[in-house]
Amino acid sequence: MNHKINCLLLAVFSTQLNAAAFDRNGQSISAFLQPGNYFEAGLSVMDSSLQGQEAGINASRQSISDIANSSYWPSAALKLQLAPKFSFGFIYDEPFGSDTEYSGNNSFVATSNDIVLLPGMTTTRIAQATSNNAPTGNTKSSFDIQNLSFIFGYQPNKNWNFYLGPTYENFKSQVELRGAVFSLYNGYDFHSKAVGDWGWLAGFAYQIPEKGLKASLTYRSEIEHKVNATENAPLIDMLSTQQGRDLVDQHLSYMVSIGKMTEQNKAALNHIVAELPNANSSGTTKFKTPDSVKLEFQTGLRPGTLLFGNVRWVNWSDFSFQPYRFGEISKIVGSLSTPSRPDGFNLVRYYDDQWSANLGLGQKLSQKWFASMSVGWDSGAGEKVSSGGPVKGYYNVGIGAQYSPTAQTFISGGVKYFWLGDAKAQLGAQAGSDYYVAEFSQNHSIGYGLKLGYKF
């Protein structure tokens, strides 16, 4: 099989383009498995449309315009064949991330009349009683995770390749919750600086170069991050003052007087408000990005034609993100929920593992041109509990092409269209239940990619 065909996978798309959970690029290992010395650099762009409708327990039924910001992420890889049986390489990518922002007239955008806990208790009333400003602005969230893999390979013969190495992962995020749907968390901010932590990967590959056959299986470990972030919760701060507690007590007394509340419920709510100052401390936020297993394969069907694909599992069902102060507040507020949630709830939580599969066909058109097409499926990771818009899996179809002006260089590009799965947006207090506040349906994404490669 022509040596160029072995590189055809690189022509499919400049990187894997994904749209499930936080997953961005699928973390391919194919660059490290190229023969000889090899370098590549790429750029991927995702343009998504995520629109929805307030629903479920949400008091209103406003439409939610597109919340997805266009995102782009670079990638790069270097592989060196140090000796006939030993190789080294590194791969830089941005495996996980998201960027969303709400706008318009809906319960994810702050207004002066947003209700907090009780009918008639608005953010403006609380702010005026405590000489503060009511929350303003839109709900937005961005998560940015970058990964650098250092890979050491051992090739006992031309067929087998065993590899392992450490991975360094960098995390930073900004989350701002606004609007009536967040009640006490209206105005909450989580701003973190970049922090890096270590994990590892290991795998093996088998190939028969003359037949264009290559398969690899790679495991990537989970990586625990410890983040010291700035967390602001202005409504909690206001209600923690004497003026705030007095306002709540007066309002509760009024509700008891008109028969809308019992003295027992009043005492319980006053107790919760009295406990809120205990959630004003700061601490370390801990969470783990998931471990994963990926199978990648390709095989020649006939001269100039290549079948390729991959299957990937990601352990999203164990993923949860609970900022420190957010969690301390939720442990107090959680006593209001039924059943009681003494451990609080999460800002982001997934309940299902993610499975994905892609299958494609590549064809050599001439000495310098290759073309390919592929189809893909992703199970998603369940409905997301967070401020972001949920996506529950997808189907996709894509096309790609590669031009090789010389035997050592190429430029490739491609495009994928994603049909995004419908999902319901839940909040942490209702996680895992039938309660939800919005529905997102009939959405899509378009991914674009460009890559340059050099064999030396």
CA distance 96 to 147: 9
Nearest CA-CA partner of 394 in 424, 360, 375, 418: 418
What is the reported pTM?
0.91
Summarised one tens digit per residue, pLDDT across range 328-356 is 999 888 776 656 677 888 888 888 899 99
Read off the pLDDT band of 450 (50, 70, 90). very high
Helix axes 324-333, 263-275, angle to 10 degrees: 160
pLDDT value at residue 173: 95
Decide which of 322 and 8 is more confident: 322
Task: Supply the DSSP string of 40-105, one letter for each residue.
Answer: EEEEEEEEEE--EEE-TT-S---EE---BPPEEEEEEEEEEEEETTEEEEEEEEEEEEEEEE--SS
Percent of the chain at pLDDT > 70 equals 90
Residues 27 and 95: beta-carbon distance below 8 Å: yes
Structure tokens at 306: 């290549």
Question: Residue 293: inside a domain, yes or no?
Answer: yes
Residue 15 counted as domain residue: no
pLDDT at site 22: 66
Are the C-beta atoms of residues 149 and 163 closer than 8 Å to each other?
Answer: no
Q: List the domain range (segments joined by +) for residue 189.
A: 30-455
pLDDT at 384: 52
Does any domain span residue 24?
Answer: no
Q: Residue 10: inside a domain, yes or no? A: no
pLDDT at 345: 84
**Is the per-residue pLDDT at 3 higher than 50?**
no
Number of domains making up the chain: 1
Does 307 fall in a domain? Answer: yes
pLDDT of residue 434: 60
Closest CA to 309 of 229, 213, 435, 227: 213
Does residue 208 have a pLDDT over 50? Answer: yes
The rounded radius of gyration (Å) of the Cα atoms in the chain is 26
Is pLDDT of 9 > 80? no
Per DSSP, the three-state class of 200 is strand
Cα separation of 425 and 156, whole Å?
Answer: 51
Query: In this predicted structure, what is the pLDDT of residue 8?
Result: 36
pLDDT in tens, 111-142: 999 999 889 999 999 999 999 999 999 999 99
Average pLDDT for 40-44: 96
* pLDDT single digits (tens) 214-252: 999 999 999 999 999 999 999 999 999 999 999 999 999
332 within domain boundaries: yes
Q: Which residue has the higher pLDDT, 385 or 140?
A: 140
Segment 11-36, tens digit of pLDDT: 333 333 444 446 788 899 999 999 99
CA dist., res. 38 & res. 85, Å (int): 16
**pLDDT value of position 327:** 92
pLDDT above 90 for 4: no
- Whichever domain contains 94, its CATH number is 2.40.160.60
59 or 185, which is more confident? Answer: 185
pLDDT per residue as tens digits for the range 406-445 = 999 999 999 999 999 888 887 754 444 567 888 999 999 9
Mean of pLDDT values over 321-334: 91
- Is 270 a domain residue? yes
| Domain presence at residue 448 | yes
